[in-house]
Amino acid sequence: MSKTAQTVWNNCLEFIKDNIQPQAYKTWFEPIIAVKLTDNALSIQVPSKFFYEWLEEHYVKILKVSLTKELGEKAKLVYIIKMENTYGNKQPFTEKIPSSNRSAVKSQEVDIPLKNKNPELRNPFVIPGIRNVKIESQLNPNYSFENFLEGDSNRLARSAGLAVAAKPGGTSFNPLLIFGGVGLGKTHLVHAIGVDIKDKYPEKTVLYISAEKFTQQYIDSVKKNNRNDFIHFYQIIDVLIIDDVQFLSGKTGTQDVFFHIFNHLHQNGKQVILTSDKAPVDMQDIEQRLLSRFKWGLSAELQTPDFETRVSIVKNKLYRDGVDMPDDIIDYVAKNIKSNVRELEGAIISLIAQSSFNKKEVTLDLARIVVEKFVKNTKREVSIDYIQKVVSDYFQMDVSTLQSKTRKRHIVQARQLAMFFAKKFTKASLASIGSQIGKRDHATVLHACKTVDNLTSTDKQFKKYVDDITKKLSV
Ligand code: ADP
Ligand code: MG
């Protein structure tokens, strides 16, 4: 029987499978595709450059042994790196495949001699502010499970958190992704998990970090040329908590490195905990392969708490601060501040402060004034989603119509208005506005803003649209 790339590779896989951990096999070998066999060289396609680096660093020996068994002493392995759009042409080494061999997959071929590189040990990466030897967890002990009050809105997320804390890395909730709107307790809950783990397993290395800080560290490491140390540092963590991963959207370099770290941790049974302001399906500009990783474990939503939960959160806060407050006031505040626990707490703190400052009892009148201030302030935060909703409602169309590719004039105008208001009322970049409003590029958004400016000064009807929508967005 003549040998084909597939049969040779299948035999290699069989051998490899018997010799490494099942999880590692799944992660690093199942995604590989055998592409071709020429004489003694087998070409395999790997999903990314990281993948190739990883195989080279960890599995080159077993690859060599298995391939030599199949193809003899002169066996050679050729990696074909499937290019992800995001890599562009950043890769330093290229050896073009002759065009006749080019398949539909855009790829780069890298010819690697099969020798064990025996990677040297590197110093642990030092994060500014974190001591060299002992890794500080960066956890806030005030954010505990005990004072994370349970309600229908958070029951699933809270119990998943407890399960993870009891057996970090040992449940199917890996990664655990907690998502939900602003001020609903994501940060609190993931700290609570970390704190609980530290309590139960003091020897485990737990690290809490915001995605923003993670990104900054990564950028610094690239500048300082110690990207590998950065990766290495994160790979020794037992429980990695990354807050607000939506921050990674559009940041392909950081996403790549996180993907790499994630795979390593996951494969070694380490726990990853993430938070995001959106469900994975709604995340924009996050690479597909990363999103699919997020979906491996459990995504649990924190919803807005119902009235009873809001009341118990307020009471708990008052109790901890040793303050008494009449029930009707608590009810009033909890009834009127609905969508954000942080604001609920803020209103209560503000009430306590005012009453102690004026040495007065908290009255319902005072509560009214304070609540009004809070409710008003929050209205000022306009999101791009909200703008799209308001604009499409105004023109009586669905948001999906507004985002569609159609060139129908009234829909194009609505879309341009949404872009214009997103520019005006949010801090988002043109590129980010474009990607959120129907996946357009920054030039389209810029053009939209100019068009709206022009039409506003030349077309009365159009000016009325702008004024009407401005009013709707400002209340
Ligand atoms: P997010 O990260 O989702 O924006 P945070 O975790 O910062 O929200 O929570 C905002 C505030 O609300 C924090 O002070 C937190 O302690 C409090 N909080 C949120 N949910 C609860 C809850 N279920 N019980 C008690 N406090 C809560
Ligand atoms: Mg938060």
186 is in an annotated binding site: yes
Of 359, 317, 355, 321, the residue nearest 334 (C-alpha): 317
- CATH 3.40.50.300 domain range(s) in the chain: 135-302
Superfamily for 5-97? Answer: DnaA, N-terminal domain (3.30.300.180)
pLDDT of residue 93: 33
- CATH 1.10.8.60 domain range(s) in the chain: 307-376
pLDDT of residue 134: 66
Tens-digit pLDDT profile for residues 335-355? 999 889 999 998 998 888 887
What's the CA-to-centroid distance between 148 and ligand 1, angstroms? Answer: 8
pLDDT of residue 102: 34
Residues contacting ligand 1 via CB (< 6 Å): 147-149, 154, 180, 182-188, 313, 341-342, 345
Q: State the DSSP code for 414.
A: H
Given the DSSP bridges, would you call strands 76-82 and 107-112 parallel, antiparallel or unpaired?
A: antiparallel
pLDDT of residue 211: 96
Shortest-distance atom of ligand 1 to CA 188: 6
Q: Is the dihedral of CA 448, 181, 294, 190 positive or negative?
A: positive
Mean pLDDT, the chain, as a whole number? 85
Of 264, 243, 248, 129, the residue nearest 192 (C-alpha): 243
Of 159, 173, 170, 67, the residue nearest 112 (C-alpha): 67
What's the CA-to-centroid distance between 223 and ligand 2, angstroms? Answer: 28
Tens-digit pLDDT profile for residues 274-308? 999 988 888 888 999 999 999 888 999 999 999 99
Shortest-distance atom of ligand 1 to CA 302: 3
Count Cα atoms within 13 angstroms, Cβ side, for 55: 28
Q: Is the peptide bond before 175 cis (omega within 30 degrees of 0)?
A: yes
Q: Determine the Cα–Cα distance for residues 161 and 173; give it in Å rounded to an integer.
A: 9
434 is in an annotated binding site: no
pLDDT of residue 111: 43
Q: What is the DSSP string of 90-147?
A: --S--BPPPGGG--SS-EEEEEE------PPP-PPPPPTTS-SSSPP----TTS-STT
The CATH classification number of 135-302 equals 3.40.50.300
Q: Determine the Cα–Cα distance for residues 139 and 209; give it in Å rounded to an integer.
A: 9
Tens-digit pLDDT profile for residues 200-209? 999 999 999 9
379 is in an annotated binding site: no
187 is in an annotated binding site: yes
pLDDT of residue 213: 93
Pocket test for ligand 1, best of 188, 193, 345 (most atoms within 8 A of CB): 188
Under 8 Å between Cβ of 153 and 105: no
E-state strands within 218-297:
239-243, 271-276
Q: Determine the Cα–Cα distance for residues 364 and 394; give it in Å rounded to an integer.
A: 37
pLDDT of residue 433: 93
Q: What is the DSSP string of 420-461?
A: HHHHHHS---HHHHHHHTTS--HHHHHHHHHHHHHHHHH-HH
The CATH classification number of 307-376 equals 1.10.8.60
- CATH 3.30.300.180 domain range(s) in the chain: 5-97
Fold of the domain spanning 384-474:
Chromosomal Replication Initiator Protein Dnaa; Chain: A; (1.10.1750)
Q: In what order do the strands lie in the sheet with 107-112?
A: 33-38, 41-46, 76-82, 107-112
Q: Which ligand is nearest to the CA of 183?
A: 1
Instruction: Report helix angle 227-235 to 211-223, nearest 10.
Output: 140
pLDDT of residue 50: 66
Low-confidence ranges of the chain (pLDDT < 70): 1, 49-50, 82-134, 376-381, 475
